[in-house]
């Protein structure tokens, strides 16, 4: 390591300062590059065999039945209101009921809160079914921001599919955070790093909704609905002030 010139001199012949007053403090320039990027792996809680074979099987059959439920599945939107098939391609059912899943989430919530450093007291669940078939995907995004869905405090994704898995791909890719934290787009930092989480049947993942993540493209050779990648995507949200008697 080479030293840096501070621009000051000191008389070392007598072993004492030559000035009459206290020596002036000299600010040393930082050795860290101003362009340095700190990479922070995002914590993901993953639980396998979450509901058990019987309950997961019943929930899968309920998910498969949405394909014949007269228009229950609609093209998935971004920001809950815009269609953009170049950014997200899948089908969704917002009226999908999974009370057994939400009950199981309640049982593990305390441990998840502790691990992720978030409090979910008095939150309200919001979730729906997402179905990915051949060629479907969801590009890198966040689930919440100051402008969009700011009440979301925790993201969860529960995976369902027939076994053996009849499709390929479809991993959940969670990007490491980087400082400075660029919140407008995940593409501003170079050499992105990430971890992929396989969509294993009867597994669930929890992570903070501010994390950048995406669904990798799915390959489903049969193209059949029942061979799709099924997932219950949801959030625990802080209460809506409008539903609390006008309280702020």
More confident residue, 241 or 60: 60
Q: What is the C-alpha to C-alpha distance for residues 38 and 178, in angstroms, rounded to an integer?
A: 5
Q: Note whether 163 and 175 are within 8 A (CB).
A: no
Cα–Cα distances (Å) from 147 to 61, 63, 69, 79, 166, in that order, read 37, 31, 34, 10, 38
Cα–Cα distances (Å) from 12 to 7, 9, 15, 24, 25, in that order, read 16, 9, 5, 17, 18
Mean pLDDT taken over the chain? 86
Share of the chain above pLDDT 70, in %: 81
Interval 111-120 mean pLDDT: 97
Residue 18 above 50 pLDDT? no
pLDDT of residue 45: 98
| pLDDT tens-digit map of 143-163 | 998 888 999 999 999 999 999
Residue 73 above 50 pLDDT? yes
pLDDT grade, residue 204 (50/70/90)?
Answer: very high
| Surface-to-core class of residue 99, CB atoms within 10 Å of its CB (0-12 exposed, 13-18 middle, 19+ buried) | exposed
Interval 228-247 mean pLDDT: 79
Residue 211 above 70 pLDDT? yes
- Lowest-pLDDT range of 49-53, 88-92, 142-146, 240-244: 240-244
More confident residue, 81 or 159: 159
Cα–Cα distances (Å) from 142 to 10, 150, 190, 210, in that order, read 55, 11, 18, 5
Interval 88-115 mean pLDDT: 97
pLDDT of residue 237: 97
Residue 73's contacts (CB-CB under 8 Å, 6 or more residues apart) are 66, 67, 91, 92, 93, 129, 131
pLDDT of residue 29: 85
pLDDT grade, residue 232 (50/70/90)?
Answer: very high
Q: Is the peptide bond before 192 cis (omega within 30 degrees of 0)?
A: no
Residues in the chain: 248
Residue 24 above 80 pLDDT? no
| pLDDT tens-digit map of 160-183 | 999 999 999 999 999 998 766 544
Q: Centre a 10 Å sphere on the Cβ of residue 199 and count the other Cβ atoms it contains.
A: 24
């Amino acid at each position: 390591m080479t030293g840096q010139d501070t621009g000051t001199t000191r008389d070392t012949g007598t072993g004492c300062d030559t000035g009459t007053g206290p020596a002036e403090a000299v600010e040393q320039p930082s050795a860290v590059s101003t362009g340095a990027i700190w990479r922070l792996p995002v914590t993901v809680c993953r639980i396998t065999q979450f509901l058990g074979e019987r309950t997961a099987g019943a929930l899968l059959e309920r998910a498969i039945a949405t394909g014949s439920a007269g228009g229950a599945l609609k093209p998935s939107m971004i920001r809950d209101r815009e269609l953009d098939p170049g950014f997200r391609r899948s089908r969704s059912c917002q009226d999908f009921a999974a009370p057994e899943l939400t009950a199981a989430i309640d049982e593990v919530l305390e441990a998840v809160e502790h691990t992720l450093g978030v409090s979910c007291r008095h939150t309200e669940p919001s979730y729906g079914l997402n179905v990915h078939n051949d060629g479907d995907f969801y590009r890198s995004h966040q689930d919440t921001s100051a402008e969009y869905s700011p009440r979301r405090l925790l993201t969860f994704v529960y995976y369902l599919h027939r076994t053996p898995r009849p499709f390929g791909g479809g991993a959940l890719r969670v990007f490491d955070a980087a400082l400075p934290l660029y919140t407008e787009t995940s593409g501003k930092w170079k050499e992105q790093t990430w971890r992929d989480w396989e969509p294993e049947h009867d597994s669930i993942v929890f992570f903070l909704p501010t994390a950048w993540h995406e669904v990798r493209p799915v390959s489903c050779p049969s193209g059949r609905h029942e061979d799709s990648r099924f997932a219950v995507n949801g959030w625990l949200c802080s209460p809506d002030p409008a539903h609390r008697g006008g309280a702020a």
